[in-house]
Amino acid sequence: MGTGGEAPNAPMALVEIRISQGSNTDEEKAAFVAQAFAALQAHLGGSSPLAEASYVTVLEVPAQHWGYGG
């Protein structure tokens, strides 16, 4: 469902990426978001814009909260 409970009339996307807290600058995160939206638009939207309710989020997780090797 789209916003307001109505079926979307354009492709929608939600991308979440998790990175170690402090590992990237604000500029690097902004560049990732812009490039991710461009890729989503190219692959999902074609010549139509993505639905307004499309999101790319960068979540920063403290390094000690990651588990490695099982």
Tokens standing for 7? Answer: 């079926």
Q: Angle at Cα 50 formed by Cα 19 and Cα 30, nearest 5°?
A: 30
pLDDT band (50, 70, 90) for residue 69: confident
Cα 56 from chain centroid (whole Å): 2
Question: Does pTM top 0.85 for this prediction?
Answer: no
Q: Does pLDDT of 14 surpass 60?
A: yes
- Which backbone phi and psi does 20 adopt, to 5 degrees? -70, 135
Tokens standing for 31? Answer: 């560049």
Q: Is 27 in contact with 68 (CB distance < 8 Å)?
A: no
Handedness of CA 7, 2, 55, 59 (dihedral sign): negative
